[in-house]
Structure 1
Amino acid sequence: MAGKRFTVRGRSIRWREGRYRQRGRRRLQARPLKPRPVLDTLVAIGVSLFAGGLVFCMALLLLGAHKVPLHFGYGAILGGVIGCSFVFGPRDRPGLMVVGGLVVVWVLGTAVLYASRDQIVLRPHEHRSAAAKSAPRKAD
């Protein structure tokens, strides 16, 4: 004899009777989050300042390596970051607050760097080859 048709071995471990009937009845609804404007504002300010600092470091690297003006590199890179965060980021309130903070840092940072562009001067390092070090110097 082959035995009963519905034995434990014949069923999947996850199978339960009546599972498919009750599938649509009970759905877990996510509760909406409570608005936290102070925390959202502090996070937006912190993220904006941190991103502005990182972009400033990248702009310094562009200035040193390729002689791109600091205000132009800063404005272009941070403008791209703002565009990408607006397109690909969340459209909820905290996400838009971060984008707004980035716009403020972008405008103020670019304006300050443009206004102080004459005072920003990188002097080249005085690296010399070994042959130049051993050669006698000419008196001025």
Structure 2
Amino acid sequence: MAGKRFTVRSRDIRWREGRYGKRRRSPLLSRPPRPRPVLDVVIALVASLIAGGLVLCMAFLLLGSYGLPLHLGYGVILAGVTLCSLLMGPRDRGGVMITAGLALVWILGTASLYVVRDAIHLRPHEHRKPAAVVFGREPS
């Protein structure tokens, strides 16, 4: 009288309770995403321009603090960023495009800053001496 005490009779051994359709496909069988070269180029150029802008801000700080010419500070810092991106960055298509964009921004930015180097001047504000502080007097 005591038969098999298996709760799920007449079903496959691999059957599990739960929602139907939860089967997972093997990642090897799924297709890789379609390449979008235009989108990759746009993303690489935007990332390179943002990096160039940040380096330009650092070059302005070096100009104001140490009097280092703007084209020299910009060129040295962005050359270091480009070299680090080439050595430590990923070797896939996106990483190579970002490195190429950084190199393009480095060359064009340094050349343009070198051309306009005579027009770049940091002048202090027209504060010649601090205002005199007078205690005990009301302003008139």
Is this a same-fold pair by TM over 0.5? yes
Q: What whole-Å deviation, never above 9, does each CA across 1:56-76 have from its counterpart, x for those lacking one?
A: 111111101111100000001
Letter of the aligned partner of 2:106 in structure 1?
A: W
Which whole-Å CA distance do the structure 2 matches of 1:32 and 1:102 have between them? Answer: 28
Which whole-Å CA distance do the structure 2 matches of 1:85 and 1:118 have between them? Answer: 31
Q: What whole-Å deviation, never above 9, does each CA across 1:65-95 have from its counterpart, x for those lacking one?
A: 1111000000011111111111111111111
Secondary structure of 1:124's counterpart equals coil
Q: Offset of 1:125 from its aligned partner?
A: 2.7
Identity score, percent: 59
Letter of the aligned partner of 2:124 in structure 1?
A: P
Aligned residues: 108
TM-score normalised to structure 2 length: 0.69
2:113 corresponds to 1:113: yes
2:94 corresponds to 1:94: yes
Which whole-Å CA distance do the structure 1 matches of 2:117 and 2:78 have between them? Answer: 18
TM-score normalised to structure 1 length: 0.69
User: 2:40: which partner in 1?
Assistant: 40
> Unpaired segments of 5 or more residues in structure 1?
1-25, 135-140
User: 1:16: which partner in 2?
Assistant: none
> Unpaired segments of 5 or more residues in structure 2?
1-24, 135-140
Which whole-Å CA distance do the structure 1 matches of 2:119 and 2:112 have between them? Answer: 11
Q: Offset of 1:28 from its aligned partner?
A: 3.6
Letter of the aligned partner of 1:99 in structure 2?
A: T
User: 2:63: which partner in 1?
Assistant: 63
Q: Offset of 1:44 from its aligned partner?
A: 0.8
RMSD after superposition = 2.1
